[in-house]
A = this chain, B = another copy of it.
C-alpha cells in the first residue's frame, strides 16, 4: 500500500474523536514540530497529537495505519539531521505530555520513565536518591528521543551511550501492537536484542513510549579541569595517551581555539585562547587526586598546561555550562548565521590526523567552523556557520561536510558518532555500510510493511 501524503479528513476526524483538544492543525504548532535545530528545511506535519499513555499512542498508530498515514515521533525537537521532518506529511506524535517518572529502583539502580521525560527532569528528581543518569548530549532532550537517536555526549567515554544504558523499551509498532523488549535483569541472553534494535531506530521501527534506564551512584568526589595546549596535535595526542593508559576520565572534551574564543566571548570567560581540553574525573577523593595528577603528567609531555582545577560544584557547573553553550555561542559568533552541525567518529589512532586535516580544510574553505569533540571516543563536531540566505556559502558548507564525512569513512570511521542519520546522512550510511543497509531495509519492511513509521529516514521505506 502506498503512503498518502494527505492524511485525509477521515483519519483526522478519528484522531480528533480520540483526543479532542489534544490534536491540532494549528499552523505555528505544525511548523514547530517539523523544525529541528539543524539546517535542514522545515517539513511540517499535517497535524500534531499529544497522547498521554502508551495505549493512546497505540490507538493513534492504529488509526494512521488504517489510513496509510505517516507517523513521526517528536520529543523536544533538538535533533540535528532532519529526524522529525514530515517529509511525506502525516501526524507528529508529540510525547511531551508523557512525562511521568514511573519507577525508580534505588536498589537496582534503574528507573522507568515515559518517553517525554527530559534528562534534566530525571536528574532533578533523582537528586536525593544518591543516583544519577549520566548521558548528556548537551540539549535537555527527552529520554525517548535520546533513546531513538542513540544519543551520547560528554560522559560517554566513561558511562557509554544510550546503547549501553537503556535496559528496555516499550514501543508501539506500525501495527499498533505494543512491545516490551526486556525484563529488568541487568543482563540477559534471552533472544534477539530488540532493545538495541530500537535504540537508534529514529522512529522508523516504532514509537518508543517508555524506557528503562540504568542509573549510577553519584560520585563521591568530582574534579573538573581546563587545560590549554600549545597546539592541536599535542591536545589530541594527550587524549589518545590518556585513553590508552586506561585513565578513567569521566569526560574529556576538546575545544579548538575558535570554539574557545567563541565560548569566552559568549559566556564572559577568560580562558586562554588555544586548543583546550575540558576534563572531569569521578571517584573517591584519593582516586580523583591520583588520576588528575597522572593526567597532569601526560598533558605536560604534550605541551599542555597550566591547568585550572575546579572541585567545587559551582565552579564545575560554570565550566560545563561554558562547554554546553558552545552551540549557542557559535550562533552569536557570526550574527545572522545559523550553525550547520555535523559530527563524525574515527578510530582514536586516526583522530589527530583527522582533526588536523579538517582544520586545514576549514581554513582553505574560508568558512567559520568551530570544532568541539568528545575526543575520548574519537568523536568530534563541526558547527559550520552559514548565512541561510547565501546559497554560495551553503554550497561551500555542504562541500566541507561532505569532505569531512568522506575523510572519516576513509579512516574506517563512521558518518555520525551521535547525531544520527535522519535524512541528512542516508547517502553516507550507504557508503559506510553498503552490505548492511539492505539488511536494515529488510528489517524495516518486516516491521513496517506499509512504510508509515517516520518514512524517508535511515533507510528507504519502499520495498
Contacts and interface: CB of A to CB of B under 8 A. Distances in A.
A174 to B, nearest CB: 11
A191 B443 CA distance: 12
Interface of A: 105-110, 149-152, 156, 160-161, 163-164, 173, 177-194, 196-197, 199-201, 205, 216-217, 219, 240, 243-246, 284, 286-287, 290, 345-349, 377-379, 408-409, 412-421, 425, 428-429, 432-433, 435-437, 439-440, 442-447, 458-459
A299 to B, nearest CB: 18
13 contacts: A152-B189, A161-B187, A188-B345, A188-B416, A188-B417, A190-B421, A191-B429, A192-B444, A194-B436, A196-B196, A196-B197, A287-B287, A445-B446
A240 B107 contact: yes
Nearest to A161: B187
A446 B447 CA distance: 9
Contact of A189 (B149, B194, B408): B149
A199 to B, nearest CB: 7
Contact of A439 (B110, B163, B346, B447): B447
Contacts of A173: 439
Contact of A179 (B412, B432, B439): B439
B189 A420 contact: yes
**Residue of A161, A191, A416, A418 with most chain B CB atoms under a 10 A cut-off:** A191
B347 A185 contact: yes
Contacts of A446: 442-443, 445-446
